Amino acid sequence: MSTTYRDALREALREALTRDQRVFLMGEDVGRYGGSYAVSKGLLAEFGEERIRDTPLSESAFVGAGIGAALNGMLPIVEVMTCNFSLLALDQIVNNAATIRHMSGGQFSIPLVIRMATGAGRQLAAQHSHSFEGWYAHIPGIRIVTPATLEDARGMLWTALMDPDPVIIFENAMLYNLEGELAPDAGAVDIDRAVVRRAGQDLTLVTYGGSLGKTLEAAAQLAGQGVSAEVIDLRTLRPLDMATVLGSLAKTHRMVIVDEGWKSGSLAAEIMARVMEQAFYDLDAPIARVCSLEVPIPYPKHLEDAAIPQVATIVESALRTAARHG
């Protein structure tokens, strides 16, 4: 059936709320307003105020409440309006949610899911448009997932709720209107492994989240220029599935990483380091990165587009890498 990424997320929420009475959703404007991106629209009328909870504008407070609820046997889904705002809850996420299992010697679990919008492209300026997935992927004790397809938007939530540790789901804001076909029986999906979205022989393109569509389009353009690019969707950023990445590299011997985060200290840099440590001799050319420019995301559309990875910059980097020899 035809649907959108937004509707797939809503169906995932509806299924979870129906399936287990311990599940509830809370966050800013998730109830009467229906969510800042309309993901939870209609759920308040369907499930009531006990299950769909509007919260005050205090990320630290409601993320902390989610941690407490998880500690007491509930399965909370906490929506943070944008990943920029999650910085107001860093103490709760980093010092509490991520550490309690370790600090309790395994006595306590935190089955908490935090959903947040990420990424640029909607002219929401620097306080609403950054990509902090790579920051959070640095932290032991939490899992980071980045659904880039309708199937993953529909299926990752329930799997995340069944994880005994906190899971953060980063939903790229440019994907909410993505349309496509989704099987009527679509359900829970794996959140442990990356997946090859397009097979190729000459070059590996590694990406995730909102950059997947651009990377696939770049791969199609590269095919028209005689370069066969394999596209890997990481899906989960912590823990990284390096086996899939290295398996592709062993075939293509060249790699470009597309990451909407800033280049300095980026997830792309971590992947590069692991490739150098584990598969240096599989490389026939230096690894290239296509990342956001080292600036706060601008408001003007032409500057915003220039600041983040685009199809043309991915193609250009891939062609340079494919032309390099040893």
pLDDT digit string, tens, across residues 102-120 = 999 999 999 999 999 999 9
Fold of 195-323: Rossmann fold (3.40.50)
pTM: 0.96
Active-site choice (15, 28, 59, 270): 59
Catalytic: 130? Answer: no
Find the catalytic residue in 11, 15, 28, 128: 128
Q: What is the pLDDT of residue 184?
A: 86
Same fold, 2-181 and 195-323: yes
**Cα–Cα distance list, 259 to 68, 140, 242, 264, 269 (Å):** 33, 21, 16, 11, 10
Beta bridge pairs of residue 180: 3
pLDDT of residue 185: 87
Q: How far is the C-alpha of 152 from the C-alpha of 167, rounded, in Å? A: 14
Domain extent listing, the chain: 2-181, 195-323
Q: Which residues of the chain have pLDDT under 70?
A: 324-326
pLDDT at 325 (0 to 100): 53
83-93 burial, b if ≥16 CB within 10 A, otherwise e?
Answer: bbbbeebbebb
CB within 8 A of 90, min separation 6: which ones? none
Task: Quote the CA–CA distance of 146 and 201 in Å, as a whole number.
Answer: 26
Q: What CATH topology corresponds to 2-181?
A: Rossmann fold (3.40.50)
- What's the pLDDT at 324? 66
d(CA 203, CA 251): 9
What CA–CA distance (Å, rounded) separates 132 from 86? 9
Nearest to 161 by CA among 320, 23, 310: 23
Residue 297 DSSP symbol = P
The token duo for 126 is 């620097």
Q: Are 201 and 253 in contact (CB under 8 A)?
A: no
